Amino acid sequence: MLGDGIGPEIVAAAIGVLEAVDARFSLGISCDYEDIGFRSLERFGTTLREEVLEKAKSCDGIVLGPQSHADYPAPEAGGHNVSARFRIGLDLYANVRPARSRPGLPSNMAPGRSMDLIIMREATEGFYPDRNMSRGWAEMMPTPDLALSVRKITRAGSERIARRAFELAATRRPRVTAIHKANSFHITEGLFLEAVRRVATDFPTVVLDDLLIDASAAMLVRAPEQFDVLVTSNLYGDILSDLASELSGGLGLAGSIMTSDRACCAQAQHGSAPSLAGKDVANPTSMILSVAMLLRWIGQQRQSPACVDAANAIDLAIDQCLSRSTTRTRDVRGNLGCRAFAGLVQTAVAG
């Protein structure tokens, strides 16, 4: 699904790389396309048809281009938040967002600092009014001068994102940091933190610590190398992942997947950047890395070493291209366009 703005360009770039690793590793991949966003709105009167969502449930993986949902009409006029509908409809509760610095690529961190972390963001609850109520909307205005918003935190939702975080950390350094604001939100944040600590007892080899959201933002700037896996609720994860990605090199470098226990969707971490659409200047790295993450998830779920090898080949090719200024896009101090950069990555993964 190509999406809006730069979506068609970066998804095409990612699919080109996917086809290259498919040819090299004999993955047997076939792709089907459906309209979402403004294209779907123009053709069908809605940004997301129910049949597309149902069709996605039977696919091995989903590639979802960015959307300009802030510019959509009201939901009653067909302007549905596509990403949110996928998260709720497929129960894609774990938004996995890595951020790491790369040798040879300038970062926005202080000299001598490095980063290699993964933010595990709960994606179906929190302060998001379009996805935390079974009926209705979680924001309201009792009077023209009074606005209210309701946040939902559940024990079940907190425990399952925590479990995914601990499972991931066990394969890494291993350390989990729970990000919260329990000193102010005693009940909701307290429940989240309590759930994380409960899950921690099942992972005695993984170190757990916790940090306030404001302190964690400061520490990401001051000493990002202390973090391994961060687990947090929806809004905090959204904000911190953008901060971490920008610090490590740029938002265009950040891969992202949304997963349930049975489904996975690759989605670039950034938005649709409509001002860049059609100019061949977008950086497709985030979308390409997201597809690599999707392949790795499929490989792990299906016990397919070839899919994991293909994902590793994409990661290596991206690192190779980003290590030199002559093989980067303009946003990371290079001069290549979207198609040219994707072509180099395709050549690199072809072996």
Range of the domain at 79: 1-96+265-351
CA distances, 9 to each of 275, 278, 282, 338 (Å): 13, 8, 8, 7
Q: Which two tokens stand for residue 36?
A: 């979402």
Look at residue 219 and tell me if it is in a domain.
yes
Query: Is residue 41 located within the same domain as residue 90?
Result: yes
Residues 202 and 117 in one domain: yes
214 annotated active-site: yes
- The pLDDT value recorded for residue 136 is 81
**Same domain flag for 21 and 67:** yes
Q: Is 210 a catalytic residue?
A: no
Q: What is the pLDDT of residues 300-340, one digit of tens each?
A: 999 999 999 999 999 999 999 999 989 999 999 899 999 99
| pLDDT over threshold 90, residue 40 | yes
The domain boundary residue, chosen from 248, 281, 307: 248
Q: Are residues 63 and 146 in the same domain?
A: no
260 occurs within a structural domain:
no
Q: How many domains does the chain have?
A: 2
**Backbone phi, then psi, for 276, in 5-degree steps?**
-100, -5
Are 148 and 242 found together in one domain? yes
In a domain, 163, yes or no: yes
Cα gap 57→351, rounded to integer Å: 33
Q: To which H or E segment does residue 119 belong? A: strand 116-122
- Whether 351 shows a pLDDT value over 90: the answer reads no
The predicted structure's pLDDT at residue 349: 94
Q: Work out the average pLDDT over 74-95.
A: 93
Domain boundary among 219, 248, 277: 248
pLDDT band at 348 (very low <50, low <70, confident <90, very high): very high
Taking only the tens place, the pLDDT of each residue in 209-258 is 999 999 999 999 999 999 999 999 999 999 999 999 999 999 899 899 99
- Is residue 285 within 8 Å of 342, Cβ to Cβ? no
Angle at 126 between CA 230 and CA 147, to 5 degrees: 135
Q: Is 93 a catalytic residue?
A: no
Kindly state whether residue 254 falls inside one of the protein's structural domains: no
Q: Which of 91-95, 135-139, 175-179, 312-316 has the lowest mean pLDDT?
A: 135-139
Query: What is the per-residue DSSP string for 39-74?
Result: HHHHHHSSSS-HHHHHHHTTSS-EE-----GGGS--
**Within a domain: 241:** yes
The CATH number linked to 222 is 3.40.718.10
The answer to whether position 253 is within a domain reads: no
pLDDT digits (tens, 9 = 90+) for 55-77: 999 999 999 999 998 899 998 99
Whether the model clears a pTM of 0.95, i.e. scores above it, the answer is: no
Catalytic residue among 71, 202, 209, 214: 214
> Mean of the pLDDT values across residues 50-57?
94
pLDDT, the chain, mean: 94
| Together in a domain, 37 and 150 | no
**Which pair of structure tokens corresponds to residue 240?**
């911190």
Residue of 242, 280, 315, 331 with catalytic role? 242
Answer with the one of 248, 280, 306 that is the final residue of a domain. Answer: 248
Q: Is 181 a catalytic residue?
A: yes
pLDDT one-digit tens code per residue, 96-148: 999 999 988 989 999 989 999 999 999 999 988 877 777 888 899 999 999 99
R_g over Cα of the chain? 20
Same domain, 283 and 333: yes
Q: Are residues 135 and 231 in the same domain?
A: yes
Active site residue 242: yes
pLDDT score recorded for residue 176: 98
Among the listed residues 22, 72, 181, 228, the single catalytic one is: 181
* 12 within domain boundaries: yes
Residues 244 and 114 occupy one common structural domain:
yes
| Same domain, yes or no: 121 and 234 | yes
Same domain, 132 and 241: yes
Q: Kindly name the residue from 72, 128, 152, 236 that is annotated as catalytic.
A: 128
